[in-house]
């Protein structure tokens, strides 16, 4: 047998899946061996399938993480440690890799990890909480249980989805992309960047396709879904312990369904309920003040890129005669880097310390060389002292998607999942650094074109030294690695540093308008 | 074990970092059991370190490392002789030859897989990621499926991803 027929292809797929999941019988294993021996086509399918599973082990370890590094692993990361004896280095390297590549949530290596925030309280109105009341802006970690007796509470997820709870209601925050409504009513507003956000409960799973919908969950387990705008995908959940998957369906604007143990049915008093859910809920949002410094790169000529700031800050970037060139940007002008060593700028005032968010537009050549420089921005961090965050595009396929946004700090590297290496402008934003409340916690969030990136935080040896010399502390580096002899080939526009985490709506607004959102706009947005 | 200069050690670390996934993938294809494959990877890593002075910088490190892994897999056959986690020698050699032939496309397939996963329904993606992180039982529990339903869904999803990756690469080649 060399070429297989359709039945044999189906059989082969089943056998490989059984083998992968560790449930293949001796007879099945033997049959698979026969097929592999007889057919080149079978061997090719098998090799590609197993390589895919090997990749999935890696992605599962990486993409679920969004977690800071365990301290005992971080301790190994200093580059100088690799001067240790070869065998020890190799053992450590492979040991770390295996732990990190495959580590699941229950692995001992994760025991010291702290829960990372995936959402925050962005607004409320007349809200009476059951249990400790969170303050406006408080962050919620995975698994956070929220319960309100009355009033309204608005939760913004890191994916950009916003949920307004109407009390009495109980909601579990499961991730940046998922919530569980245990009882009560919610209204979900999901921008295009958060398509795929889902709300589940005992009766139904609702996957948003870019829309606004409401959902009510009754104590008895039934739920009703109302689509106010756009469309959602709904799938009844098996409440009877059956083995089959329930069929999915799509609900469109003005459609509603009731999901219960008895099955799926129409909603009673549908029009009355729609009228109630379409009424605007005017939650009160608190505008958190921020300090910023931004470079528009609109000069178009000369050797200086001026900075604008809402504080008395002089953070002018001196490009020099042979530095970057001026070019057409995403908004006005931009800087084009052509491989020269990085441009340095001494930051002053609030720009020196406390950066928590950075955003800019970048354009990488589609054929950017993997052997060339990849770093395009390095920023001083306030913790630990004399450390910095370095932004680049990922050139190591073993660490994530080639061309994806990569952020490296002393704690490790975060690599996104969207390739920037396509010759187009992309808006990138990162939230990083320890917050004042949690000095030992360094959450990292990456956004590309307004969409939250899945990423890995990896324990890989960093390139370059671990500590910025004191004389260079407080220095911003553009277009290359600090101290590097050659720089990156790419264009950059509208660089912005902010001293607090930007929320997903703020990042989206910045991307769409090139303006920071005002307090008034935030209140009605 | 010969002493290596610091630069040579850095080179080794960099090469292993770049090619670790491919080496594991090769071993896992020949020994389709994750924990056994991890054991062989550890043994392979030590041999790579011992023999690194033989490696010529500029040649194909992954191919050289996979050659070492091949001999480790062969050596492990004795250990797995009565087990079902490894094929007989004839099949093993044929699969190894195909794996070597398809090695150049692996990075592109790995990257395309990330994009294909983004296209999955979140519940399906959750099932898949939980299965590869914590096992099938946990994945079934977390996504509210029976074990049988989870096995079926996983088989369907793997085929879906396999086809999506193949289509993505075919479209790219034709573009």
The answer to whether the CB atoms of B4 and A86 lie below 8 A apart is: yes
- pLDDT value at residue A39: 94
DSSP state of A22: T
Residue B7 binned pLDDT confidence (cut-offs 50, 70, 90)? low
For residue B128, list chain A residues with Cβ-Cβ distance below 8 A. 56, 60
The answer to whether the CB atoms of B134 and A97 lie below 8 A apart is: no
Residue A217 buriedness (CB in 10 A; 0-12 / 13-18 / 19+): buried
A99 pLDDT more than 60? no
Digit-coded pLDDT (tens) for A201-254: 989 999 988 889 999 999 888 999 999 999 999 999 866 555 456 778 899 999
Candidates A26, A94, A402; nearest CB to B45: A94
The answer to whether the CB atoms of B98 and A177 lie below 8 A apart is: no
For residue B10, list chain A residues with Cβ-Cβ distance below 8 A. 82
The answer to whether the CB atoms of A21 and B154 lie below 8 A apart is: yes
A84 pLDDT more than 70? no
Q: By the 8 A CB rule, do B24 and A54 touch?
A: yes
Digit-coded pLDDT (tens) for A136-187: 888 898 889 999 999 999 999 999 999 999 989 999 999 899 999 999 999 9
Q: By the 8 A CB rule, do A358 and A450 touch?
A: no
Q: Is A141 helix (H, G, I), strand (E, B) or coil?
A: strand
Digit-coded pLDDT (tens) for A282-333: 888 877 778 888 999 999 888 888 888 877 666 788 887 767 889 999 999 9
Report how far residue A418's alpha carbon sits from residue A141's, in angstroms, rounded to the nearest whole number.
25
Give the minimum alpha-carbon distance from B163 to chain A in angstroms, rounded to a whole number: 10
User: When comparing pLDDT for A486 and A458, which is higher?
Assistant: A486
Of B33, B35, B106, nearest in space to B66 by CA: B106
Digit-coded pLDDT (tens) for A363-390: 999 888 877 778 899 888 766 666 778 8
ipTM over 0.90: yes
The answer to whether the CB atoms of B42 and A94 lie below 8 A apart is: yes
Token pair of A299, please? 């000069």
Of A459, A95, A59, nearest in space to B132 by CA: A59
For residue A449, list chain B residues with Cβ-Cβ distance below 8 A. none
For residue A460, list chain B residues with Cβ-Cβ distance below 8 A. 17
Digit-coded pLDDT (tens) for B102-126: 988 888 899 889 889 888 887 888 8
pTM above 0.80, yes or no: no
CA–CA distance from B162 to each of A13, A28, A46, A48 (Å)?
10, 21, 11, 8
Of A426, A419, A412, nearest in space to A65 by CA: A412
DSSP state of A288: P
- pLDDT (average), residues B57-70: 88
The answer to whether the CB atoms of A59 and B117 lie below 8 A apart is: yes
Residue A476 binned pLDDT confidence (cut-offs 50, 70, 90)? confident
- pLDDT value at residue A13: 93
Mutate to test the interface with A, among B13, B15, B36 (most CBs of A within 10 A): B13
Average pLDDT, chain B: 84
| % of chain A exceeding 90 in pLDDT | 40
Give the minimum alpha-carbon distance from B1 to chain A in angstroms, rounded to a whole number: 8
Average pLDDT, chain A: 79
Report how far residue A103's alpha carbon sits from residue A113's, in angstroms, rounded to the nearest whole number.
12
The answer to whether the CB atoms of B162 and A21 lie below 8 A apart is: no
Digit-coded pLDDT (tens) for B120-152: 887 888 899 989 988 898 888 888 888 888 999
- pLDDT (average), residues B55-64: 84
- Across the A:B interface, residue pairs with CB atoms under 8 Å apart total 217
């Amino acid at each position: 047998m060399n070429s297989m027929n359709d039945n044999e292809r189906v059989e082969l797929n089943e056998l490989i899946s059984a083998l992968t999941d560790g449930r293949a019988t001796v007879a099945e294993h033997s049959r698979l061996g026969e097929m592999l021996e007889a057919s080149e086509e079978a061997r090719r399918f098998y090799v590609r399938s197993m390589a895919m599973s090997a990749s999935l082990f890696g992605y599962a370890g990486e993409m679920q993480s969004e977690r800071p590094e365990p301290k005992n692993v971080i301790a190994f990361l200093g580059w100088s440690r690799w001067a240790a004896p070869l065998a020890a280095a190799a053992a450590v390297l492979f040991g770390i890799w295996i732990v990190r590549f495959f580590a699941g949530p229950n692995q001992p290596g994760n025991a010291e990890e702290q829960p990372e925030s995936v959402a925050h309280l962005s607004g409320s109105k007349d809200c009476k909480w059951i249990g400790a009341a969170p303050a406006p802006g408080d962050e919620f970690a995975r698994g956070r249980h929220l319960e309100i007796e009355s009033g309204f509470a608005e939760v913004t997820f890191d994916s950009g989805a916003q949920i307004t709870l109407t009390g009495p209601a109980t909601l579990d925050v499961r991730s940046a992309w998922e919530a569980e409504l245990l009882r009560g009513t919610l209204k979900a507003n999901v921008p295009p960047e958060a398509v795929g956000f889902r709300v589940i409960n005992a009766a139904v799973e609702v996957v948003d396709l870019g829309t606004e919908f409401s959902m009510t969950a009754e104590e008895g387990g039934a739920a009703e879904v109302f689509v106010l705008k756009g469309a959602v995908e709904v799938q009844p959940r098996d409440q009877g312990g059956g083995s089959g998957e329930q069929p999915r369906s799509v609900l469109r604007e003005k459609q509603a369904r009731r999901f219960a143990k008895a099955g799926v049915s129409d909603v009673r008093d549908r029009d009355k309920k729609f009228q109630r859910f379409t009424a605007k809920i005017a939650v009160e949002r608190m505008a958190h003040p921020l300090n910023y410094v931004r470079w528009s790169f609109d000069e178009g000529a000369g050797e200086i890129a001026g900075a604008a700031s809402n504080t008395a800050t002089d953070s002018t970037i001196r490009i020099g005669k042979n530095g970057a060139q001026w070019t057409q940007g995403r908004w006005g002008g931009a800087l084009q880097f052509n491989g020269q060593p990085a441009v340095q700028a001494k930051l002053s005032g609030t720009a020196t310390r406390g950066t928590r968010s950075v955003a800019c537009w970048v354009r990488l050549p589609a054929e950017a060389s993997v052997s060339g420089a990849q770093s395009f921005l390095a920023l001083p961090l306030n913790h630990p002292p004399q450390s910095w965050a370095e932004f680049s595009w990922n050139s190591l396929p073993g660490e994530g998607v080639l061309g994806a946004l990569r952020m490296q700090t002393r704690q490790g590297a975060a690599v996104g999942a969207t390739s920037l290496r396509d010759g187009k402008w992309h808006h990138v934003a990162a939230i990083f650094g320890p917050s004042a409340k949690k000095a030992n916690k360094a959450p990292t969030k990456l956004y590309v074109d307004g969409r939250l990136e899945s990423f890995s935080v990896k324990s890989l040896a960093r390139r370059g030294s671990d500590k910025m010399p004191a004389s260079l502390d407080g220095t911003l580096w553009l277009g290359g690695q600090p101290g590097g002899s050659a720089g990156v080939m790419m264009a950059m526009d509208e660089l912005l540093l902010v001293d607090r985490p930007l929320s997903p709506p703020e990042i989206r607004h910045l991307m769409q308008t090139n303006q920071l959102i005002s307090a008034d706009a935030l209140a009605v947005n | 074990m010969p002493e290596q200069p610091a630069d040579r050690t850095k080179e080794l670390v960099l090469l292993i970092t770049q090619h670790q996934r491919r080496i594991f993938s090769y071993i896992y294809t020949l020994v389709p059991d994750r924990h056994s494959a991890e054991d062989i990877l550890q043994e392979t890593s030590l041999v790579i370190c011992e023999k690194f002075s033989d490696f010529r910088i500029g040649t194909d490190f992954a191919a050289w490392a996979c050659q070492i892994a091949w001999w480790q897999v062969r050596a492990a056959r004795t250990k797995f002789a009565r087990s079902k986690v490894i094929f007989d020698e004839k099949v093993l050699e044929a699969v190894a030859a195909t794996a070597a032939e398809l090695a150049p496309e692996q990075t592109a397939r790995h990257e395309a897989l990330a994009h294909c996963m983004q296209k999955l329904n979140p519940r399906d993606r959750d099932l898949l990621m939980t299965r590869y992180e914590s096992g099938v039982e946990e994945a079934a529990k977390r996504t509210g499926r029976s074990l049988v339903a989870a096995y079926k869904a996983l088989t369907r999803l793997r085929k879906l991803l396999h086809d999506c990756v193949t289509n993505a690469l075919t479209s790219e080649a034709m573009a």
